[in-house]
Amino acid sequence: MAYQITQTSLRNGTRVILAQNPNLNAVTFMVGFGAGSRNETGVPKGTAHCLEHLTFRGTKRLPNQLAIETVFDHMGADSNASTWFECTNFYATVPAKCLPTVIDAEYEAIYGSLLRHRDIRKETLGPISEEALMYLDDPESYSSELFHRVLFGRQTQLGVPIVGTPKTVATIRQRHLLSFRRQHYVPANTVIILAGQFDPDEVIPRLEATFGQRPPVDYSATVEPPNLPRQPRQTAVYRRDLKQVNLNIGFPGLEHNHPDEAAMEVLVNVLGGRPSSRLFRIVRIQSALVYRIMAFAMPFIGAGEFRVETKISPKGLMRVANLILTQLAKLRKEPVSEKELALAKDNLDHGQTVVLIDPEEMADDLLDQILMTGRVVTPEQYTAKIRAVRPDDVLRVAQTVIQPERCVVVGVGPVRDLSPIIELAQKKLGE
């Protein structure tokens, strides 16, 4: 009933992951490249994202966006693309019988897009600028971007928003896009995922005839390290029109492939990953001062982030900050109980079964695994990794990550100064 996962590659080295589930009537086709906004060396910030947008602006055969989208929409495809700091992906979920059409269309769009000057101009002045402004109007996205800027440093590749800024985006030219595509969209940096219903004997020849035709070239990429805090940092963006402060309290986190990554997942789950987590019970249920409160951890190459995010009226700000910091301090001081640990492990383990039945989620998860670790982590291996976490592992991660001198606090809303929270953090976490 679940997926059968196998790994193969095309003759030019492109990695292919097949996750077959004959009980579904749909299939997700995903093409991922291990490069994103962090790889924009020598090109303007926002180039990777702009290239993703221009992919749908026209090829020789399909001259404009309408022609390309019509191919996808006719199939009822749920299709999209996204650019992250360290990868870019293109995907479409379609009825199984439409798979050959989708493979051809994605290939044509990705490698055949003309990247015409007038389209670049229109796209950067229009939709891309609007997208950047949309994130600014949404206080939650704004606060997340601000957190990255303060944690990783203003001028670093992780500190600048993926979409770039209106200023940098305006300087993107055709040569930047071509150079990024030539350098990063190469077989050695490509992963193709199929999840759902399909016949591998039909799919592989089709992939060889399309993505398999790209010439193999050597690939290597280096990314610059971020400028992580050595002392606490805080920034408030005052917005009088908002009712709540969109607050982030966080720290540098663990990088990709860190031996403690499973313990970190458990820590986040215990602290704020679900409605029975500590933050939810103590801050939301007991204080009744917040509606949304979550903990996150995100690994990157050579860096990571860990943060607690909430929204709070200014009157309750210090009280909620105090409750959050109390919980962070507790994680540093006391190992989690066996019972709480068991609940977190069950949640993560069973949760993967419920979530990964969806072919899109499955493809997304496999892409992450293969790009970041170079291999597929099967659901069984994931279970084993999570089950092996012990209370002292979680304690060690907490003591490594939650350090008062590396605390970062940002807020967007009716607040001008967050230094009282930094001071409180020094006191509470230094005890």
Partner 1 sequence: MHRLSNGTRVIIAPNPHTPLASIMIAFGTGARDEIKAGGYEHGISHFAEHMMFRGTRHRPNKRAIVGWFDANGAKYNASTSHENTIYYATCVASGLDMAAGILTDMVQNSLFRPEDVEAESGVIVQEARMYFDSPEDHVPDVAQRAMYGDSPLGDDIVGTEASIRGITSEKLATYRAAHYVPRNTVIAVTGNVNEAAMLAFLEQCYGGISDTGIGSESYLPAKPPGEPTIIMEARPDLTQAHVMMGFLGYKHGHPRWPALKVLSTILGGNMSSRLFDAVRERGNLAYHVASVPESYRDTGELCVVAGLDADKLERAIEVIVRELVEVKTNGVTAAELEAAKGCLNNRLLMAVQDPGTLAVRLALSTLNLGSPKPVEAQIAEVDAVEGGDVLEVARELLTTPRFRLAVVSEFDDPSPYHALAERLGE
* Residue window 57-76: x/- pattern of binding to partner 1, with contact defined by CB under 8 A: -------xxx--xx-xxxxx
Cβ nearer to partner 1, comparing 201 with 354: 354
Q: Does 100 bind partner 1 (CB under 8 A)?
A: no
> Could you tell me the smallest distance in angstroms from the CB atom of residue 300 to partner 1?
26
> Could you tell me the smallest distance in angstroms from the CB atom of residue 141 to partner 1?
9
Q: Does 314 bind partner 1 (CB under 8 A)?
A: no
Q: Which stretch binds partner 1 (CB under 8 A): 5-13, 238-246, 250-258, 376-384?
A: 238-246
β-strand partners of 305:
252, 298
Which residue of 1, 60, 61, 416 would you call a contact of partner 1, by CB under 8 A? 1
What letter represents residue 365's amino acid? D
Q: Does 117 bind partner 1 (CB under 8 A)?
A: no
Q: Which stretch binds partner 1 (CB under 8 A): 107-115, 119-127, 173-181, 211-219?
A: 119-127
Cβ nearer to partner 1, comparing 255 with 349: 349
Contact in structure between 49 and 164 (CB atoms under 8 Å): yes
> Could you tell me the smallest distance in angstroms from the CB atom of residue 269 to partner 1?
9
Which residue of 134, 178, 217, 318 would you call a contact of partner 1, by CB under 8 A? 134
> Could you tell me the smallest distance in angstroms from the CB atom of residue 204 to partner 1?
24
Other C-beta atoms lying within 10 Å of the C-beta of residue 36 = 22
Tell me the CA end-to-end span of the chain in Å, nearest whole number: 51
> Could you tell me the smallest distance in angstroms from the CB atom of residue 344 to partner 1?
9
Site residues (CB under 8 A) for partner 1, limited to 151-210:
none
Joined together, the tokens standing for residue 188 give 């050695």
Contact in structure between 229 and 408 (CB atoms under 8 Å): yes
Which residue of 154, 175, 292, 319 would you call a contact of partner 1, by CB under 8 A? 292
Cβ nearer to partner 1, comparing 204 with 242: 242
Cβ nearer to partner 1, comparing 14 with 269: 269
Q: Which stretch binds partner 1 (CB under 8 A): 102-110, 150-158, 300-308, 354-362?
A: 354-362
Q: Does 278 bind partner 1 (CB under 8 A)?
A: no
